[in-house]
Structure 1
Amino acid sequence: MTSRYAQVVVDVPTQQTNQPYTYLIPDELAQRVQAGVRVLVAFGHRSVLGYVVALTDQLPEDIQEDQVKDVLTVLDERPVLSTELLELAKHLAEKNFSYWVTFLALMLPTSLKASYRKKLIAQPSLSDADRLAYLDGQQERLVKMKDFSAKGWRAIRQLEKAGLLKVLTVIENQGKVKTTTAFQTNPDREALEEISSSLSKGAKQQRAIVDFAIAHPGQTFSKEDWLEQLDVSFATLGVAAKKGILKKVAVEVKRRPDRLADGQKDDIKQLNDEQEVAYQAITSANDDHQQEVFLLEGITGSGKTEVYLQAAQKAIDRGEQVLFLVPEIALTPQMQKRVEDRFGDQTALLHSGLSVGERYDEWRRIHEGKVQVVVGARSAVFAPLDRLGLIIVDEEHESSYSQSENPHYSARDVALWRGRFHHAPVVLGSATPSLESRARAQKGLYHFLRLTKRANPHATLPAVSIVDMRQEQLDRGDTNFSSGLLEQLKAVLARGEQAVLMLNRRGFSSFVMCRDCGFVPRDPNCNLAMTLHMDSRTLKCHYCGYQEPIPHICPVCGSNRIRYYGTGTEKVETELAALLPDYPVIRLDQDTTRRKGAMAKALADFGQKKAQILLGTQMVAKGLDFPDVTLVGVLNADTGLGLPDFRASEKTFQLLTQVAGRAGRAEHQGEVVIQTYNPDHYALKYAQKHDYEGFYRQEMAIRHAAEFPPYFYTVQIQCSASEENQVALQTAKIAAWLKKRLPEDVLLLGPSPRSIAKLKGRFFFQMILKMKKPNEVDALLRDLVDQSQKADKDFALEVRRDPVSFM
């Protein structure tokens, strides 16, 4: 028996509409309306998209039957959101003080968030009056939902039911199905034989086509298949179609992301003792359908990926699916290649680097159950997998797993939620786990697994030396290369080996300044010093994209003594060209990898030794595995240490340990040189010794003394407006309101301007709440979010739970 009513969350993201609304399911749509489909409904005086989250036979007590509107139409043949994802969206909206509909939309590819039209096609028996009323007297018409009232749509559905009108849904967006031309053979053998007998003796190509059609009646072949099998021209196929031998048809072609696999099957490697222990622990939990969380802490090069792949194979052999998350898929093409080499066409990719069409088609392959392994970045955690048997979160410490813009969520937390839902093990892997995960492992909440030696028995951890750049500056003046690093670099290159150099700042220089008056050009939208880019001869803001020409005369004092300060990857590339002119450099940063496929090509070129030097920002620290890299140089280890962020030391240690791990991964001994102006900082000292456990103990002691996570839970309340005075005053009022209502054991810090106080023309203030219990003030914060809806339209308030940074 079908339900009478649908509970629909409408696509109107406000606090007042953050709830399901009840709609009547018309009889003609009863079979199509299911939980998880998208529908069009009347809301107020307009038609909007909505998501059916439940079906019911009961009206809410406060609603009368005559107040209930109809579901206008259904947009999907089958649900696009499973019961699990509907539940997850509601959970995330509540946890992150956001809107239900925002998370529902987030789980779908862009193609399914677009506008829809209906194509009305007249059937032979449609009356002239109805043709005039609904099709403007035409044979077919493309209409929007707002073109007819609810009464008009009801009449259209009745005409469709009676077979007088055909109604098709047309998606108006970039995510259309891609088609190619194909030719279908005539299924009527008698007709084909008749055509054959009428052909002249000279029509050899037409005869070849008709003979093939008689042998394959009613079958469809692509244009390429026809040309290959019969060696005929496209024009000849067109003539055959006119004669009735063939019928020209459009067939769908699934768009696939560029495959990095080279056709060679990735061999399953023999696990060492430590890897075997980890593999057995994970697969036994998988066998028993235990929802267990594993923290796999393994030094760089210890073979974590091989453990992942073999555990994934075991899950696949059981008929289950695997979700494999990496921090940024665009930065880890080598991981993509390894997974594709191992699992082939069973693999799907989901990440923001794909085109809209590719993402739509990959999502549909997953949704149709044609995929066993999904590899992707943060948003792939919402992949529509219904037989999840294993979830892997590689480099689990990475902050890119947390979405900073609205709606806020952590992909790592979502992975844990989905693991509980499917009773599937979750593996969190890293050489430098986040302090929160490591602390949970210490408490026994996570199953702790360690890999302490490199998988390659001939490879050892590289020797790390720290260079004090204060002394180098006194001895050699302003330079990016200490004498020691330069000598080692020349020796490595002379031996035919390779080097990776990291500077976590792109551009030519950090900023431009007038030497006479001190003027620094700033971006008008963000009030930040802009970065110089010599290749485009512009100053750019890396936050909002604003750019302007490099000034030659100071606009304040008229001086021409404009000078460049600081350094970036572009400037280092120029310096290397002067120091080592015989050795080309491959540069990796956001400026050089903007084009699709540029990152994978650059790494492929480096792998083929078209260049011996790879220079880049932090993207060279992750996931790279090149056997001939024997030297890693960190040109300035201090770029992250001075940030006003309680995680600055942790992030610096993680980055240095990760990039150091790129060296000496094969037979040759690796060396790492870290240049710094803070040689005695504990994060650098522990990175030098590859001592994660030592760093963990010291950093935890500091966090405990300062009352920061993981000892305390935090919430960031951020306010913004286009007028600084307005946001400062409003934030102060909110702080006073909170202080009267917060429990005594909850600490409120601020309000104060955010570290980047102006961004894209808006001013930002923030407050931080620190508490011992995670949900202690949830009710109060929901009340605050509700109240903020009544504020001035220009004022915006966001609440972020456990932010990865307070900047």
Structure 2
Amino acid sequence: MFASVIVDIPSKSVNQVFDYRIPSGMEGLIRIGHRVLVPFGPRTIQGYVMSLNETTDFDPTRIKEIARTLDIEPVLTEEMITIAMYLADYYVDQYISVIETILPAALKANYKKVLRLADSHTAEAEQVLSSISGGAEAETKRLEPDALEALSPYLKSGDIQEETVITQHTKRKMALAVYSLKQADVDLSRAKKQQELYDVISAASDPIFVRDLVNDGFSNALINALHKKGLIAKVEAEMERDPYSDRVFTSDSPKVLNSEQQHAYGRITSAMDEHEAKTFLLHGITGSGKTEVYLQVIQKALDEGKTAIMLVPEIALTPQMVNRFKRRFGDDVAVLHSGLSHGEKYDEWRKIKEGRARVSVGARSSIFAPFENVGAIIVDEEHETTYKQSDRPMYHATEVAKFRSRYHNCPLILGTATPSLETFARSERGVYERLELTMRAGTKVLPEISIVDMSEEHRMGNTSIISGTLEAGIRERIEKGEQTVLLLNRRGYSNFQICQSCGYVPMCPNCDISLTYHKANQSLMCHYCGYESAVHRTCDNCQSDEVTFRGTGTEKVEEILRDMFDTEVVRMDNDTTRRKGMHEKLLDHFEQEEIPILLGTQMIAKGLDYPKVTLVGVLNADTMLNLPDFRANEKTYQLLTQVSGRAGRHELSGEVIFQTYNPTHYAIQLAKENDYRSFYDKEMAFRRLARYSPYYFHVLFTVSSEDIRKCLKATTHIHDTLVQEVSDQSIIVGPSPSPLERINRQYRFQIMLKYKREPELLKMLNTLDEHYHEAYRTEGISLRIDVDPLVIM
């Protein structure tokens, strides 16, 4: 029996399966999806079994044997193997890279080389190794040159051998526990505390962790006393890392659906009954009760013995969504997102793999939750660009969701108030079935929206970032004990530092972008490569002391708000949410302490639902309009509509204020009117004229190198290849410098391919990828191929 294995080497030259013989003692034990250790050249590495075969196309006598398996149960299902192969081919990537994306990081292999005594070794070799390492082995990379020199003769003689040790990145967490030996005639009447402890341990069906007993008031001395008397035994037991172990969730019962919700629920569950792999666009205005439809669809799946996957676009939304799902489904819910530690994600993943959880809630990567028999897949806020991974493999979670929907013959629900143009266009053509929710749940109505022209404010003498209208609105909410949400999609204190004498602006030495001033740590920072430098009070160019700061970020606005309203402000941006759990802590602080103002970047624009939020202010509605991206208008409309939906979601009525220097722009005007259909029609006319998605598919080629001449040469080569290989119906744009021409010392040039049908495209993309994979190794030229890009920066 032979196994086809993909080895753990991220290289194009080995991006294929290799056949290995299964040792006679392992036949029947090794299955598809198992992690195995295999010899590869002079070393032993981890691999994944892709298939099992009775025969091989190669000379059986030259095929090496699998060394051993690393798991009792396979870590990859056959479905996940199929997905890995599909994604690697579609997005032009390596199989091992996709497999490691699918699996939790905890399963990634750690390799280290050690020197160990051979089975037959001299006493002298043992003495020398022991004197250097203090034991029978030494890690090679930790040895000093003179130590290696001393061991060299014994390596040559074979007394000491070098071996590769492979360990898992994160292991199961073990802790000391105790259990009762169920002794008869136990008399502890003269030791009441020991009797109390013994009764607690005896009543438990499983071992109890010592740390839990200590937390309950029992000392280690008491535990040791029972152990010495032979009444209890000690054991190492697994302690599951549950990120919500300290939380109590009150039960929540299903709500009565209104007529629109009931219609949507009926159409989706009909597809479930028919086992149809149908995609639904649940197009519901903000506050229309999409989440309740999700919950009831999932309940039906669970009632039928199936599982369900729920995606949210980012971890800022996860706390409230997890709360709703835990209240409805309890321990059936597993949570998977980047805010968890490797260990927590590993344990949540194992809950799913072992069938102890039937619902997953999480961000992009949770689409790979290892469920079997999936009954429903839901992608909330489907328009969000965060569902597309920005580094390799550059998959889109919705594409994976479609694949899994077809695999399990179950419905896929794409929910949003502001569909991407591509999704809405497919619903117009009948590729997706559109379900409309046009009214807010209950008696609630959409908030009133007004636009403030900031140019007019400045002409009237108000140079603050807070307009008179917005200031009055905030003061009114503070007086009423209500809350305000303010959006500014720019973190930091000021956009840049400038010398008023010579005009010099400090730039990032690695990127073509000005440094952003952060007052909290008195530094200038680059938000692209992380470069940081101290603030200089004199100009680096002319030594003038007339340096000042221009522009406004969330840090500065927080300071302005505290001074203006003499009140506490909760600020949410990448700076304040960097530490684990801060998203949830800040939002809990805002809600439970009834802080008057929540200020944040776009992470606060969607999904949040607080009863006392009655005012939403967008401090600069133009931020995304100015991006050099054909989706800029669409992103602006979506962001404004989403953040508007945070106001007046419960009994209190809501108000929204957009501050802008472009009050007549159609994206802003139609967001004010909440008129998606008019925006769609207008934007589609532009897309048709400019020949952009959804009328064309796109591939974005980005070449980067520290040498600009190499960039120009490579992009010319790619352009010439495209001209020769694609049809005349396709459009090639570029080569041209990227909007951000240099990031992290790398010059960047790009080419955009627009096409409708190119049967040989995949073959050509793989040829280019292989060529520049080698060019990166020899010349430092990197090619990034982004299939279906969402960002062209």
TM-score, normalization by structure 2 = 0.91
Q: Counterpart of 2:445?
A: 460
Q: Counterpart of 1:155?
A: none
Letter in structure 2 aligned against 1:237? I
Q: Counterpart of 1:153?
A: none
Shift, 1:246, TM fit: 2.6
CA contact (8 A) 1:260 1:336 kept: no
Q: Counterpart of 2:7?
A: 10
Judge which range, 648-657 or 329-338, deviates more: 329-338
Shift, 1:118, TM fit: 12
How much is the aligned-residue C-alpha RMSD, in angstroms?
3.0
> Quick one: distance in 1 between partners of 2:544 and 2:198?
83
Shift, 1:525, TM fit: 1.4
Q: Counterpart of 1:124?
A: none
Alpha-carbon distance change, 775 to 255 in structure 1, aligned in 2, over 3 angstroms:
farther
Are 2:468 and 1:473 aligned? no
Q: Counterpart of 2:95?
A: 100
Shift, 1:713, TM fit: 0.4
- State the secondary structure of the residue aligned to 2:223: helix
CA contact (8 A) 1:116 1:144 kept: no
CA contact (8 A) 2:88 2:98 kept: yes
CA contact (8 A) 1:9 1:50 kept: yes
Q: Counterpart of 1:730?
A: 714
Letter in structure 1 aligned against 2:787? R
> Quick one: distance in 2 between partners of 1:442 and 1:210?
68
Identity of aligned pairs, percent?
44
Are 2:54 and 1:57 aligned? yes
- State the secondary structure of the residue aligned to 1:393: strand
Q: Counterpart of 1:163?
A: none
Are 2:210 and 1:223 aligned? yes
CA contact (8 A) 2:312 2:363 kept: yes
> Matches of residues 39-78 of structure 1 in structure 2 within 5 Å?
39-60=36-57, 63-78=58-73
Shift, 1:173, TM fit: 5.4
Shift, 1:302, TM fit: 0.3
Can you list the C-alpha shifts for 1:280-338, whole angstroms capped at 9, x where unaligned? Answer: 11111112211110000000000000000011101111010010000012344211211
Alpha-carbon distance change, 37 to 479 in structure 1, aligned in 2, over 3 angstroms:
same
> Quick one: distance in 2 between partners of 1:48 and 1:466?
61
Q: 1:595 aligns with which of 564, 575, 579?
A: 579
Letter in structure 1 aligned against 2:466? F
Shift, 1:247, TM fit: 2.2
- State the secondary structure of the residue aligned to 2:224: helix
> Quick one: distance in 1 between partners of 2:648 and 2:385?
27
Q: Counterpart of 1:323?
A: 309
Q: Counterpart of 1:626?
A: 610
Q: Counterpart of 2:172?
A: 177
- State the secondary structure of the residue aligned to 1:658: helix
Alpha-carbon distance change, 667 to 80 in structure 1, aligned in 2, over 3 angstroms:
same
Shift, 1:237, TM fit: 2.1
Letter in structure 1 aligned against 2:231? I
Q: Counterpart of 2:30?
A: 33
> Quick one: distance in 1 between partners of 2:122 and 2:70?
24
Shift, 1:261, TM fit: 5.9
> Quick one: distance in 2 between partners of 1:22 and 1:134?
38
> Quick one: distance in 2 between partners of 1:7 and 1:135?
40
Are 2:546 and 1:561 aligned? yes
Shift, 1:776, TM fit: 5.2
Q: 1:255 aligns with which of 237, 241, 253?
A: 241
- State the secondary structure of the residue aligned to 1:651: helix
Q: How many residues align?
A: 764
- State the secondary structure of the residue aligned to 1:653: helix
Letter in structure 1 aligned against 2:341? S
Can you list the C-alpha shifts for 1:18-42, whole angstroms capped at 9, x where unaligned? Answer: 1100001111222321110111111
> Quick one: distance in 2 between partners of 1:407 and 1:650?
25
Q: Counterpart of 2:696?
A: 712
CA contact (8 A) 1:573 1:587 kept: yes
- State the secondary structure of the residue aligned to 2:457: helix
Are 2:621 and 1:637 aligned? yes
Shift, 1:507, TM fit: 0.7
> Quick one: distance in 1 between partners of 2:91 and 2:418?
27
Can you list the C-alpha shifts for 1:180-215, whole angstroms capped at 9, x where unaligned? Answer: 22123346x5xx76xx69x9x9666667778999x7
- State the secondary structure of the residue aligned to 2:458: helix
Shift, 1:128, TM fit: 8.8
> Quick one: distance in 2 between partners of 1:132 and 1:248?
39
CA contact (8 A) 2:537 2:545 kept: yes
Q: Counterpart of 2:362?
A: 376
Are 2:522 and 1:529 aligned? no
Are 2:80 and 1:85 aligned? yes
> Quick one: distance in 2 between partners of 1:480 and 1:40?
61
Q: Counterpart of 1:678?
A: 662
Letter in structure 1 aligned against 2:597? I
Q: Counterpart of 1:279?
A: 265
> Quick one: distance in 2 between partners of 1:135 and 1:396?
63
Q: Counterpart of 2:523?
A: 538
Letter in structure 2 aligned against 1:266? D
Shift, 1:641, TM fit: 0.2
Can you list the C-alpha shifts for 1:127-148, whole angstroms capped at 9, x where unaligned? Answer: 996999999999x9889999xx
Q: Counterpart of 2:342?
A: 356
Alpha-carbon distance change, 601 to 57 in structure 1, aligned in 2, over 3 angstroms:
same
Q: 1:549 aligns with which of 503, 518, 534?
A: 534
CA contact (8 A) 1:185 1:219 kept: no
> Quick one: distance in 2 between partners of 1:627 and 1:228?
37
Alpha-carbon distance change, 723 to 116 in structure 1, aligned in 2, over 3 angstroms:
closer
Q: 2:646 aligns with which of 657, 662, 666?
A: 662
Letter in structure 2 aligned against 1:495? K
Shift, 1:478, TM fit: 2.4
Shift, 1:477, TM fit: 4.4
Gaps of 5+ in 2: 142-163
Alpha-carbon distance change, 221 to 426 in structure 1, aligned in 2, over 3 angstroms:
same
Q: Counterpart of 2:160?
A: none
Q: 2:768 aligns with which of 773, 784, 803?
A: 784
> Quick one: distance in 2 between partners of 1:580 and 1:211?
58
- State the secondary structure of the residue aligned to 1:48: strand
- State the secondary structure of the residue aligned to 1:289: coil
Shift, 1:740, TM fit: 2.2
Can you list the C-alpha shifts for 1:723-770, whole angstroms capped at 9, x where unaligned? Answer: 122112221122123212221111111111111111122111110000
CA contact (8 A) 1:346 1:371 kept: yes
Letter in structure 1 aligned against 2:541? V
> Quick one: distance in 1 between partners of 2:641 and 2:254?
27
Q: Counterpart of 1:801?
A: 787
Can you list the C-alpha shifts for 1:546-582, whole angstroms capped at 9, x where unaligned? Answer: 111112111111111111111111111111122111x
Alpha-carbon distance change, 228 to 528 in structure 1, aligned in 2, over 3 angstroms:
closer
